[in-house]
Amino acid sequence: MKSSDKPTESIVLGGGCFWCLEAAYQLVNGVTAVTSGYAGGHWPDPTYERVSTGTTGHAEVVKVEFDPGIITLEQIMDVFWTIHDPTSLNRQGADVGTQYRSIILYEPEQRERVEASLKAAQKLVDAPIVTELKPLDHFYVAEADQQNYFKNNPDAAYCQVVINPKLKKLREHHRQQLKENA
């Protein structure tokens, strides 16, 4: 697809540890920025330490900014459904707690498309999708050491055992949507 004159669009997604989603979306063609952060809770100015207690109501999320002239919201959502288990309540693998829940925080004009994406994804899995859908209230940027974690620590055990299998799945199912050499 060719780039458009439209401004970038963004959506906030949570599906386990934000390092996983960040690493995956950084490979997707048309994605212009991915920022790890926190959203969906009630605690003002959350920190990694505080969110990890599971008491803030926030989830670890990523803000995915993309060029809609290159990739659509629907394609962004297709990647989301592929790279995590939306049928697992408050966990992804060994990451357990409400901070790891599957959640989509959307802008008002995205609601119908997000709901349609969830309905389409539900037809592809046997178990009920438990992904929480809600309007984005506020996105808090995570600390600097939480940004670009996979890029900065590719040999870390978590990256090898948890993130790399998700990236492999991404490459298998969305090869046509990835940046060159991804």
Q: Tens of pLDDT along the chain (182 residues)?
A: 445 566 899 999 999 999 999 999 999 999 999 999 999 999 999 999 999 999 999 999 999 999 999 999 999 999 999 999 999 999 999 999 999 999 999 999 999 999 999 999 999 999 999 999 999 999 999 999 999 999 999 999 999 999 999 999 999 999 888 888 77
DSSP 134-164: EE---EEEPPGGGTTHHHH-TTSHHIIIIIH
Q: By residue range, what is the domain housing residue 103?
A: 9-167
pTM > 0.85: yes
Q: Is residue 182 part of a domain?
A: no
Choosing from 11, 17, 31, 51, which is the catalytic residue? 17
17 assigned to active site = yes
Q: Is residue 173 part of a domain?
A: no
Q: Is residue 181 part of a domain?
A: no
Look up residue 108 and give its two tokens. Answer: 């008002």
Q: Is residue 176 part of a domain?
A: no
The number of domains in the chain is 1
pLDDT value at residue 6: 64
pLDDT value at residue 182: 74
CATH of the domain at 56: 3.30.1060.10
**Amino acid found at 120:** A
